[in-house]
């Protein structure tokens, strides 16, 4: 007999109740928040953001979900906490006055703690219970748990009291966050809290090559599916933002709408209509080939359509870019004033790659652009390896394509292995790749543009000379001379030579026609003379013949007359 333990498709399954944290991105990773009415452990080293994380959980719960909360601190006083989180826009005094939150500082003197079998947390239970009941709290934070056991070494007592604390919190039906310092080789200093918590979230603050990065990982979550990767998070004026993007499935929607590059000749090379909306475009080339100018034209065209654009600059300031673009005929400052164009300029070393990704993600969510430009992405190598930059860009492209946002990257190409690898790595990710190269000939440097690839559309395989002038950007046909492709003055010289040859050929043809006409007239004159001579000879011959005929006729008439006269005489 076989046993069937499979669930009936129509049977309702009771899912684990969850309490949303209100922290951007975290609720998506945890598929709804942390376990409701259960304890969650937030652990990590000093400065990783545990206190801010738990404070935002309390404040968001009170403001957004109408769940009052108690924050019990064992290190910082209430006024110190209020000052520390004021930069995030949290007014704790106002929230306390409205009885939405309650801050309580518990001072524990280590010398008063004796390790005896009678040690317990009953005093904390009474104090915490009163705070919960006073405002009807649904959320509780204990920050940090180590201070309760700072002078205890008996692991049995610590574990027993922790179990009792967690069970008491469950009976009070409050959703709890407990913070703990990361231990040596363990998630917490005592190495025990993670075994009695229903959910464990690890915060990490890493500094690599003097670049700071904060990461979050859900270590365990009883009764729930959750993301298991490390997720970067950012602490700024709006609070904590977690980026829930690591590797998305390739299931995003695609569009058949085309958007112009802003350069008509380039659109013509792309089937006459430009790029696909929501696609990714790479513009690569050596220094001075006009990559930023192409990006500026694309941003200008986006704003001219009444759409929004974010321009992330890693090399030039916004004022530099605006000034430089005016020299080629476009005014980006007007779009900035109209709120259609937003610049974000910073050196790559300002943050780590993950922090850049979080910042871009957050700005895109806030500004809602239709186009994003990153200029240039190769500068990111200063804060990460080639593989790390590629991974970051994969995640960025996946996110932007899922939002149907068109993105343009510029990349500097140099004659070294690192940049070639970066260029190749990025070019394999994008939908369209434009390559601008130097064409040096006859002591002159010019630019040539190639459409290396453009997925899903017919595109030109011809090289076009890329011209930057006061009138803007343009692409012109290159000349093929005896020595290959000709550009710039060499093209003009070849064109002049061809025009000169054409004039000479025309002159030669004219002279030939004149000589033929003269020869024709001479021959016609000769023919006329011969014809006249022939007619004269013919007339002479005819004259002799006629005279003979007349003579014969006269003689015959005379003879007949003589005969008639004789007959008459007879």
Please spell the DSSP secondary structure of 475-500, one letter per residue: EEEPEEETTEEE-HHHHHHHHHHHHH
pLDDT recorded at residue 419: 46
pLDDT at 1 over 50: no
Give the containing element (helix H, strand E) for 180: strand 175-181
Give the containing element (helix H, strand E) for 505: helix 488-569
Per the rule left: phi > 0, alpha: psi between -120 and 50, beta: everything else, 49 is left
Residue 114, SS3? coil
Bridging pattern class, strands 479-481 and 484-486: antiparallel
d(CA 426, CA 430): 7
pLDDT recorded at residue 424: 47
Query: pLDDT tier at 120 (50, 70, 90 boundaries)?
Result: low
Cβ neighbors of 388 (< 8 A, separation 6 or more) are: 353
- Residue-wise pLDDT for 175-215, tens only, equals 999 888 776 666 566 555 555 677 888 888 877 666 667 88
pLDDT recorded at residue 210: 64
> Under a CB-based contact definition with an 8 Å cutoff, are residues 456 and 463 in contact?
no
Residue 319 belongs to domain with CATH number: 3.40.50.300
Per the rule left: phi > 0, alpha: psi between -120 and 50, beta: everything else, 466 is beta
DSSP class of residue 17? P
d(CA 297, CA 150): 62
Residue 561 lies inside a defined structural domain of this protein: no
> Under a CB-based contact definition with an 8 Å cutoff, are residues 50 and 43 in contact?
yes
Query: pLDDT tier at 492 (50, 70, 90 boundaries)?
Result: low
> Under a CB-based contact definition with an 8 Å cutoff, are residues 425 and 390 in contact?
yes
pLDDT recorded at residue 478: 62
pLDDT at 124 over 50: yes
Residue 547 lies inside a defined structural domain of this protein: no
The pTM score is 0.64
Query: In the Cβ-directed half-sphere of 138, how many Cα atoms lie within 13 Å?
Result: 17
Asked if residue 135 and residue 53 are part of one domain, the reply reads yes
* Residue where one domain finishes, among candidates 211, 242, 273: 242
* Residue where one domain finishes, among candidates 425, 450, 477: 477
Asked if residue 280 and residue 173 are part of one domain, the reply reads no
Give the alpha-carbon dihedral of 329, 333, 337, 341, to 10 degrees: 90
Asked if residue 105 and residue 206 are part of one domain, the reply reads yes
Asked if residue 403 and residue 317 are part of one domain, the reply reads yes
> Under a CB-based contact definition with an 8 Å cutoff, are residues 146 and 53 in contact?
no
**Residue 214 belongs to domain spanning:** 15-242
Asked if residue 444 and residue 296 are part of one domain, the reply reads yes
> Under a CB-based contact definition with an 8 Å cutoff, are residues 230 and 353 in contact?
no
Burial tier of 306 (Cβ tally within 10 Å: 0-12, 13-18, 19+): exposed
pLDDT at 382 over 80: no
DSSP class of residue 47? T
pLDDT recorded at residue 12: 45
Query: pLDDT tier at 540 (50, 70, 90 boundaries)?
Result: confident
- Residue-wise pLDDT for 138-165, tens only, equals 999 988 777 776 656 677 777 777 788 8
Residue 489 lies inside a defined structural domain of this protein: yes
Chain Cα centroid distance, residue 30: 27
201: which strand partners?
42, 218
Residue 4 lies inside a defined structural domain of this protein: no
pLDDT recorded at residue 415: 53
Asked if residue 488 and residue 348 are part of one domain, the reply reads no
Residue 306 lies inside a defined structural domain of this protein: yes
DSSP class of residue 9? T
pLDDT at 369 over 90: yes
Residue 284 lies inside a defined structural domain of this protein: yes
Asked if residue 230 and residue 133 are part of one domain, the reply reads yes
> Under a CB-based contact definition with an 8 Å cutoff, are residues 427 and 284 in contact?
yes
Peptide bond connecting 400 to the previous residue in cis, omega within 30 degrees of 0: no
Domain count for the chain, please give it: 3
- Range from 103-112, 307-316, 320-329, 452-461 carrying the lowest mean pLDDT: 103-112
Asked if residue 381 and residue 491 are part of one domain, the reply reads no
Nearest 5°: phi and psi at 406?
-80, 130
Give the containing element (helix H, strand E) for 332: helix 332-337
Asked if residue 65 and residue 143 are part of one domain, the reply reads yes
Asked if residue 187 and residue 150 are part of one domain, the reply reads yes
pLDDT recorded at residue 335: 94
pLDDT at 387 over 70: yes
More confident residue, 502 or 111: 502
- Residue-wise pLDDT for 400-424, tens only, equals 888 899 999 998 876 544 444 445 4
Query: pLDDT tier at 271 (50, 70, 90 boundaries)?
Result: confident
Asked if residue 264 and residue 194 are part of one domain, the reply reads no
Query: pLDDT tier at 338 (50, 70, 90 boundaries)?
Result: very high
Q: What is the mean pLDDT of residues 495-509?
A: 74
Nearest 5°: phi and psi at 445?
-110, 125
Mean pLDDT of the chain: 79
> Under a CB-based contact definition with an 8 Å cutoff, are residues 174 and 102 in contact?
no
Asked if residue 262 and residue 185 are part of one domain, the reply reads no
Query: Which among 270, 271, 349 has a CA at the least distance from the CA of 294?
Result: 270
pLDDT at 254 over 50: yes
Peptide bond connecting 376 to the previous residue in cis, omega within 30 degrees of 0: yes
d(CA 208, CA 383): 9
Residue 21 lies inside a defined structural domain of this protein: yes
* Residue where one domain finishes, among candidates 188, 212, 242: 242
> Under a CB-based contact definition with an 8 Å cutoff, are residues 197 and 231 in contact?
no
pLDDT at 78 over 70: yes
Residue 42 lies inside a defined structural domain of this protein: yes
Burial tier of 567 (Cβ tally within 10 Å: 0-12, 13-18, 19+): exposed
Give the alpha-carbon dihedral of 488, 489, 493, 494, to 10 degrees: -20
Q: What is the mean pLDDT of residues 246-260?
A: 72
Instruction: Looking at 348-487, list the stretches that DSSP marks H as alpha helix, in order from N- to C-terminal side.
Output: 353-367, 386-402, 417-427
Q: How far are the Cα atoms of 16, 409, 461 from residue 416, in angstroms, in the given order?
A: 54, 20, 26
Q: How many CB atoms lie within 10 A of CB 145?
A: 22
């Amino acid at each position: 007999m076989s046993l069937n333990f499979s669930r009936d498709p129509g049977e309702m399954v009771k899912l684990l109740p969850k309490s949303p944290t209100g922290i951007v991105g975290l609720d998506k990773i945890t598929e709804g928040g942390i376990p409701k009415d259960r304890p969650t452990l937030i652990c990590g080293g000093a400065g990783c953001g545990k206190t801010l994380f738990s404070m935002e959980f309390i404040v968001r719960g009170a403001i957004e979900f109408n769940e009052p909360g108690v924050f019990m601190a064992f290190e910082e006083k209430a006024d110190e906490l209020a000052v520390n989180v004021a930069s995030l826009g949290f007014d704790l005094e106002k929230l306390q006055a409205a009885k939405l939150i309650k801050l309580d500082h518990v001072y524990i003197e280590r010398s008063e703690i004796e390790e005896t079998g009678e040690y317990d947390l009953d005093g904390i239970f009474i104090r915490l219970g009163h705070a919960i009941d006073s405002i009807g709290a649904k959320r509780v934070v204990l920050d940090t748990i180590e201070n309760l056991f700072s002078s205890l070494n008996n692991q049995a007592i610590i574990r027993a009291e922790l179990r009792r604390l967690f069970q008491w919190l469950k009976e009070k039906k409050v959703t709890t966050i407990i913070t703990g310092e990361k231990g040596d080789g363990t998630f917490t200093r005592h190495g025990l809290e993670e075994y009695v918590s229903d959910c464990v979230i690890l915060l990490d603050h890493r500094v690599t090559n003097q670049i700071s990065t904060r990461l979050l990982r859900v270590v365990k979550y009883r009764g729930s599916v959750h993301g298991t990767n490390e997720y970067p998070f950012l602490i700024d004026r709006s609070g904590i933002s977690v980026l829930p993007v690591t590797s998305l499935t390739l299931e995003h929607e695609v569009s058949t709408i085309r958007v112009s590059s802003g350069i008509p000749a380039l659109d013509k090379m792309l089937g006459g209509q430009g790029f696909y909306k929501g696609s990714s475009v790479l513009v690569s080339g050596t220094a001075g080939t006009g990559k930023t100018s192409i990006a500026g034209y694309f941003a200008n065209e986006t704003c001219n359509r009444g759409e929004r654009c974010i321009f992330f600059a890693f090399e030039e300031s916004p004022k530099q870019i605006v000034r430089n673009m005016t020299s080629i005929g476009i005014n980006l400052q007007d779009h900035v004033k109209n709120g259609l164009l937003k610049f974000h300029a910073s050196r790559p070393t300002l943050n780590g790659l993950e922090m850049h990704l979080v910042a871009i993600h957050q700005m895109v969510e806030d500004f809602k652009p239709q186009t994003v430009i990153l200029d240039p992405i190769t500068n990111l190598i200063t804060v990460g390896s080639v593989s790390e930059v590629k991974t970051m860009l994969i995640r960025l492209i996946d996110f932007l394509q899922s939002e149907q946002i068109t993105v343009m990257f510029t990349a500097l190409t140099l004659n070294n292995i690192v940049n070639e690898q970066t260029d190749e790595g990025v070019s394999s990710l994008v939908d369209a790749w434009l390559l601008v190269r130097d064409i040096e000939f006859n002591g002159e440097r010019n630019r040539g543009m190639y459409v290396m690839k453009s997925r899903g559309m017919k595109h030109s395989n011809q090289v076009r000379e890329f011209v930057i002038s006061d009138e803007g950007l343009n692409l012109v046909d290159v000349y093929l001379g005896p020595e290959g492709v000709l550009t710039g003055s060499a093209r003009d010289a070849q064109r002049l030579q061809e025009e000169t040859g054409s004039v000479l050929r025309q002159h030669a043809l004219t002279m030939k026609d004149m000589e033929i006409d003269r020869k024709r007239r001479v021959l016609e004159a000769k023919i006329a003379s011969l014809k006249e001579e022939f007619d004269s000879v013919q007339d002479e011959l005819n004259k002799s013949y006629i005279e003979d005929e007349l003579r014969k006729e006269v003689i015959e008439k005379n003879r007949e007359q003589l005969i008639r006269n004789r007959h008459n005489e007879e």
